[in-house]
Each structure stands twice: as structure tokens, then as C-alpha cells.
Structure 1
Amino acid sequence: MTDAQQLFDYARRQFNEIADDVERHFEQVAGQLKQFVPNQLRTVPTPKRLPPPTTLELAQRWISRHKALTYALVAFVVTGSVGAIVFAKSREHKKKRRARRSASGARTDVVVVAGAVANPLTSALYLDLERRGFVVYVVANTSEDEHFIRAQSRVDLLPLHIDPVDPFHAQDQINRFTALLDREHQAFDRAEPHRLNFVGFIIAPDTQTTPARVDSISSEEWSNALNAKVLNTIATTQLFLPSIIEHKAKILLLTPAVTPALRLPRHAVESTVYGALKGFTSSLAAELQTEGITVSHFKLGHIDVPSITAKQRREGITTPRFKPTPLRQLHDSVFDAMVSKNPRATWHVGRGSLAYDIIGSWLPQTAIGWMMGAGRRPNIVEQVKEEDLQGSAGSLTWEKVESEA
């Protein structure tokens, strides 16, 4: 081996040693740096892209930037909505509800009213129907009822004498009524003939009775009440059913609902009559549903009947704290139910009707008794006069109940 070759090998060994020392030094420095540098600085996360803002977030940002304009828009919407509701109510109140007429101007729509003829609420109802352009037939069971109807001196308000006790005479009267609907009529000579259309059968029985304890009600009183208020109503409805089905007439049942809903003591007869009529109309509605005939139950609350109100003022009876529902609302609701294609099955008319119906359905009897003040004034209902109980669906009994509530 020559000297040059030895020198070259020596230089290479020295270079490798120096390189190894440098590499070990850098590894040592790197290890020390790893001990002192935090982990979060060693791994830099990849920046995440934020999702686009939603519509709600954009709306919130816009509202936060334009608070004054937002308040103005909210105030405008609220006042506009209230104004629209008031306008709709006023327009509904001013809406003319009139029965249809023929080309010659004659009346064509027929309504039959069955119930308490002399009841102020019932008499106000059939008089209003006659004023609206209906031919109104009122079922009269006695000669006194027939005389009362004729005393109203209305051309298109006619009595229809039907005595359920005499089925042959009653059927004869129904046949005459059916023949009246089937034949053509002329308003005057050379006028275009027209037919009558049976549009509504209104049942308005007087379900109210004198308050009494169950143990003091005789079997004769039970029999009279059920015969006069339930069986007569069912028998009269059965007589008119063929004509109702043929002409697709609406059936309306009007009953006071406050006392039966609350199940008050000393009102067993009234609650029993109400329950019987409600069960009858419910079953009848299910049977007539296939015929396309609707049965509507009007649950009446406190209604202001002018004749009853005037009588109470003359007798010095204090007026209730809360204003009752005007009688016109009942008349408008009855008209709407008869002319509507799909009327509701249940109508709540009168102050307290819906509220007491809900209370009586959900609260236990003990809670209702506590609300009515049972134990403080147990004779509150006995203070009502019998003639007031028989007077109207807006009778004094309801006012006493509502004043206690």
C-alpha cells in the first residue's frame, strides 16, 4: 500500500467520525427541544372551514343590526292583525242573513220549530226566523199553543197542531204537511210556480224544572217531566223523519247546558232530561250520517232575552256582574247552521256554555262543589222563582251560578 492510499483512508475515517459526532449532537439537541416545547406547538391542526349560516342565524343577525326597524314591523303586524280580526267580526255581524226566495219573490224555505211554544227564547227564535224570510211552522200540542202562535199576527208564522197522544190525527197533520211540500205554489196569478224546501227542524224543549231534592220528587212528577220533555220530543221527531230525510233538512237541538254540565244538586230532573235528549240526538246523528243529514246540538249559556231582562228590572232584581250574550248571536248561529253545507255537531252559544262544559267534563264533583260554594249558601238555587225557571234559557239560575263562580 502506498503512502497516498494510506493518507486517503485516514482522511476518510476522520470524516466519518466527525459526521457521526455531528449527527449525535443534533439528535441530542432535538431530544432536549422536544422536552421543553409544548405539544400543541408541535402539532399544528388543520384549519376547519365553518359551515354556511342558516336562515335563522341570518335573520337573527339582521334583527340585531336593525332593531328599530324590527320593532316597527312587529308593531305593524300586531296592529294589522287586530284590525283585521275586528273588521272580520264587524263584517260578520253586519252580514245580511236572509232566506232564499223564488223568482217571483215568494218564500221557499220552510222551518219547523218544535218545543216550548210560549218560552220567551223559543218565541223570539221563530219570530226572528219569520223576519228573515222563512215560512215557519210551529208545532202546537194544545189549543192554547195554537192560539198563542196565531196571536203573533204573522202571515208566514203558522201553527202545526200535532198531538202525540193521538197518533192518527198527528199522522194526518204530517201527511198534509208533506203534501204541502210536494205540490207547486204560485205567489200570484201568472207567477212562475215554485216548490217549498224543507231546510230545518229545530227542537227547543223546555228542559228546566223547579229545583228540588231527589227524595221529594214523586213518581208522577218524574213521569210528567219525561213524557212532556223527552217522549213528546222523540215522538215528534219520528213523525218528521221521512220529510227530513227526503229534503235533507238540518236537525238542530237547543238545550240549556250550564246546569247539566256542572251536575248541580237539586236539578236531577233537568239533568236527566238533558242526558236523555243528548243521547237520543247522538244516536240519531249516527243513523242519519249515511243519509247526508247533520244533527247539531246547541249548548246554550247565559243569553240576554229582552223580555226576561225587562221583567227582572221591573221586579228589582240586580243585574249580573258580567254582560250576557246578546240574543242576536243565537239567531245568527241558528241561521248559519241551517244554511251551511257541513255545520258543526256542537255549538256553544251564550256566556259560560263552553267554560262550564269544560269544567264539568274535567274537574271532579268535589272541586265543582267547592267552586260553587257548597256549604256557604246551600239554598242559593231555591231563591229563584218558579216562573223565572220556566221563562227562558237565559234564566236567573244561570246568573246565580255564574255569580258564584
Structure 2
Amino acid sequence: MTDAQQLINYARNQFNEIAADVERHFDLVAGNLKERFAKPLSAPPARRLPPPTTWQLAQRWMYKHKALTAAIVAFFVTGSVGAFVYVKSRDLKKKRRAKRSQSGARTDVVVVAGAVTNPLTNALYLDLERRGFVVYVVANTSEEEHFIRSQSRADLIPLSLDLVDPFMAQNQLARFQNLLGSEQRAFDHAEPHRLNLIGLVVVPDLRSNPARVEDISSEEWSDALNAKVLHTIATTQHLLPAVIEHKANVLFLTPSMTATLKPPMHSVESTVYGALQGFTSSLAAELKQDGVNTTWFKLGNIDIPAATAKQRRDGVPAPRLKPTPLRTLHDQVFDTLVAKRPSRTLHVGRGSLTYDIIGSVMPPSFIAWMMGVGSRPRIVRDTSDDDLQGSAGSLTWEKVDQERLDA
């Protein structure tokens, strides 16, 4: 055998070995793949859903019982409306009367400080006397004392308070405190009882004639601040010892519709309102430390029968929006006087809460647009006390709407 033939045989053997190795490798791979795919694939574990919530269960139940759900909703809506109407009617029919002693004598005392001839103040202290309180009305002059006595009410008594002479005022209030501390008898051989001061009702006079700031003299500013701000502060200051001693509730009643909007031509009323607001807030914080509650009544448009009757006689048309009845204010005042924890602020009267929100939240540009931009407000000089409708000189809803339409 030649060398060339030996080389060819060697190459053929090497090739056969390589081909055999490749074939064995492919057979091994094919066997592995066959075994792999022959076994069934295991499914991934099922994901467990969280348990349904109470709201989801309720939704499923409502979806399955649509008719019954509608009936239940209708029942609750009707019942809520009926309960609201019932509570309101019961509240109106509720008899609000002051406590009496075993002998039938009146024991609860209320002091009212404000403009005596003001229709709102007059209606307030007359209603308190009818409800069974012994009402003392602060009188600074002999004319005011005569006016109070002319009401011919046995338990409506003037409380003389001379603010010009502080020593005289202290002596007058000392006699009043001695009267509260001494025993009283309704009749001979009756059980003695003591008078209890349960409340001080302050009705500041915020009325002022509309005028531009440049037309108000310094004397008018001084008179307004003295008569409306300092007079209220001095009266309250003199009565505080008795209030703190008896833990009586303090009520401030102020008209708020005009003052919260701060319209033009009402700078005096807005200034007085702001000063009394700061005084009331500070006083409430101080009295809270002594266990005395202070409530600020923000009054809106209230129907005062005396003022309404005079307006009808004068031919003034009735307002389009009916004012809040005066009885609502009287009921709120009574509930606040006898409450142990009365509210800090109460809105009584149509427009009070609405204008308070507008004046505190809305920008001045919106208020100016509402009042009528570019139009001069008409000056209406109301000097009569009988023209008071919640507050003399205050803007009612109808006046504001009319000025906006005229603009």
C-alpha cells in the first residue's frame, strides 16, 4: 500500500469518527428534548383574591335587590324629611319659660343694655319679661327710666347707671348686687328665695346716617365712637363683677349685613362694628377663664312688627324676600340664656350668614360688583327709631339687588 493510499484511509477514518460523534450528540439532544416535552407543563399557582370588603358586599346586594334598595332609600329620605319637619315644629311649639321658686315667684334675672327706645331692644326686653324673667333695663337718663316704667310691667325694672360719674355708677351697681344677694319673699310667710342673674344682653346701637368720609367731621366721629363704642364698653365693664359672680351668659346682638360688606357711605357703622368685634373677641377670651360664656349674635334682616306697621302706614312697599320673624330671634336668645354651653357665634335673620361669608371670603372686587360698580349709592337718612329693620341703615337683599341692577 502506498503512502498516498494510507493518508486517504486515515482521513476517511477521522471523518467517520467526527460524524459518529456529531450523530451521538444530536441523538442525546433529541432524547433530552423528547423527554422534556413529553412531560405535561405544570400550571402556575392560582392567585388568591382578597376577601370582598363590606362596601363591595353591600354593592353586590344592592345590585341583586334593586327594587328593595330603592324602597329603602325612599323610606330613609322621607323619614329624614319628616323627622326634620317634626323637630322644627316641636321646637316652635316648645314652651320657653323661666324657672320659678316653690312659691311661684320669679328667680331668674336678665339685664338688657342698649338703646331703650330702639324697636329691637324694646321688643327684646318685653319678650323676656313675658317669658318669666325679672328684666332690668339699663337706663342712663331720667327719660329712659320714665319710658321703661311707662310699659307698666311689674317685673320690667329700670337699672339706673350714670356713666358720667363712675363713683355713682359703682354705688348703683353695688345696690343691684346686694339685691341679688339678699333673700326675697313673694308674699308673707312664703319660702324665701334668691335672685339669680343668668344673662347680660347687650344691644349696641350701630345706626348712622350714610355719608362720605370727607363729609364727616371730627366731632361726629368723636360722638359716634363715644356713644356707640365707649358707651357699650363702659356699660359692660360695670356689669362684669355681677356677671362673673353669678356665671351668667353674655350676649352681644349686632346687625352685621352692612358692616361685613363694608360698602361706601357706611364708614361709621363699619368702624363701630369692627371696634365692637375686637372688644367682644377679647372679652370672650377673658371671660372664658372665669367660666362665663359669651355669644355674639350677628343679625340680618328681621321683621320687627312695630317698624313694619310704620312702613305700611308710610306706603313703603313690602320686600320681595320675607324677613325672618322676630320670634326666631327671641327663641334663640332664650335658648342661649339658659344653655350651659352656648355657641360662640349665632347668625339670626335673613342674609346674615350669606353676607358674612361673602364679606370674609370674596375679594373686594366681587363685593364692589355686587354693590354696583360706578354707581353712587343713594343716601337715605333714617333718623327715626321706628324705621329699624334688623339694623337701621343696613342694606337689605332687595336694596343690594336693586343697586346692582341700576349699575
Whether the TM-score (by the shorter chain) exceeds 0.5 is: yes
* Structure 2 match to 1:289: 288
Higher mean alpha-carbon deviation, 163-172 vs 184-193, is at 163-172
Higher mean alpha-carbon deviation, 331-340 vs 313-322, is at 313-322
Aligned counterparts, 1:129-168, within 5 A: 129-168=128-167
Identity of aligned residues (%): 61
* Structure 1 match to 2:195: 196
> Structure 1 CA distance, aligned partners of 2:50 and 2:211?
75
Task: Kindly indicate whether the alpha-carbon contact (under 8 Å) linking 1:254 and 1:299 is maintained by their aligned counterparts in 2.
Answer: yes
Amino acid aligned to 1:202? V
Task: Kindly indicate whether the alpha-carbon contact (under 8 Å) linking 1:388 and 1:396 is maintained by their aligned counterparts in 2.
Answer: no
Amino acid aligned to 1:403? D
* Structure 1 match to 2:316: 317
| DSSP-derived class of the 1:397 partner | coil
* Structure 2 match to 1:329: 328
User: Where does the alignment leave 5 or more consecutive residues of structure 2 unmatched?
Assistant: 1-22
> Structure 1 CA distance, aligned partners of 2:386 and 2:154?
31
Aligned counterparts, 1:62-77, within 5 A: 62-77=61-76
> Structure 2 CA distance, aligned partners of 1:389 and 1:360?
28
| DSSP-derived class of the 1:383 partner | coil
For normalisation by structure 2, the TM-score amounts to 0.87
> Structure 1 CA distance, aligned partners of 2:63 and 2:126?
61
| DSSP-derived class of the 1:111 partner | strand
Amino acid aligned to 1:144? E
| DSSP-derived class of the 2:193 partner | coil
Is 1:178 the counterpart of 2:177 in the alignment?
yes
| DSSP-derived class of the 2:99 partner | coil
Shift of 1:93: 1.3
* Structure 2 match to 1:212: 211
Higher mean alpha-carbon deviation, 171-180 vs 326-335, is at 171-180
* Structure 2 match to 1:371: 370
* Structure 1 match to 2:228: 229
For normalisation by structure 1, the TM-score amounts to 0.88
CA pair 33-395 structure 1, distance change in 2 beyond 3 A: farther
> Structure 2 CA distance, aligned partners of 1:57 and 1:237?
60
| DSSP-derived class of the 2:110 partner | strand
> Structure 2 CA distance, aligned partners of 1:211 and 1:96?
41
> Structure 2 CA distance, aligned partners of 1:60 and 1:219?
71
> Structure 2 CA distance, aligned partners of 1:244 and 1:222?
31
Shift of 1:383: 3.4
Aligned-residue Cα RMSD (Å) equals 2.5
Aligned counterparts, 1:262-277, within 5 A: 262-277=261-276
Aligned counterparts, 1:336-351, within 5 A: 336-351=335-350
Amino acid aligned to 2:134? V
Query: For residues 117-176 of structure 1, what are the alpha-carbon distances to aligned partners after superposition, in whole Å with 9 as ceiling and x for unaligned?
Result: 000010000000000000001111112211111111111001112121122322221121
Is 1:397 the counterpart of 2:406 in the alignment?
no
> Structure 1 CA distance, aligned partners of 2:174 and 2:188?
27
Amino acid aligned to 1:210? N
Residues paired across the two proteins, number:
380
Amino acid aligned to 2:395? W
User: Where does the alignment leave 5 or more consecutive residues of structure 1 unmatched?
Assistant: 1-20
* Structure 1 match to 2:384: 387
Task: Kindly indicate whether the alpha-carbon contact (under 8 Å) linking 1:140 and 1:159 is maintained by their aligned counterparts in 2.
Answer: yes
* Structure 2 match to 1:87: 86
CA pair 61-180 structure 1, distance change in 2 beyond 3 A: same
* Structure 2 match to 1:3: none
Task: Kindly indicate whether the alpha-carbon contact (under 8 Å) linking 1:252 and 1:296 is maintained by their aligned counterparts in 2.
Answer: yes
Task: Kindly indicate whether the alpha-carbon contact (under 8 Å) linking 1:206 and 1:390 is maintained by their aligned counterparts in 2.
Answer: no
CA pair 283-389 structure 1, distance change in 2 beyond 3 A: farther
CA pair 206-71 structure 1, distance change in 2 beyond 3 A: same
Task: Kindly indicate whether the alpha-carbon contact (under 8 Å) linking 1:257 and 1:353 is maintained by their aligned counterparts in 2.
Answer: yes
Task: Kindly indicate whether the alpha-carbon contact (under 8 Å) linking 1:304 and 1:394 is maintained by their aligned counterparts in 2.
Answer: no
* Structure 2 match to 1:16: none
Amino acid aligned to 2:227? A
| DSSP-derived class of the 2:45 partner | coil
CA pair 384-43 structure 1, distance change in 2 beyond 3 A: farther
CA pair 275-336 structure 1, distance change in 2 beyond 3 A: same
Shift of 1:321: 1.6
Shift of 1:197: 0.3
| DSSP-derived class of the 1:164 partner | coil
CA pair 214-49 structure 1, distance change in 2 beyond 3 A: closer
CA pair 203-301 structure 1, distance change in 2 beyond 3 A: same
CA pair 109-64 structure 1, distance change in 2 beyond 3 A: same
> Structure 2 CA distance, aligned partners of 1:198 and 1:33?
103
Higher mean alpha-carbon deviation, 384-393 vs 149-158, is at 384-393
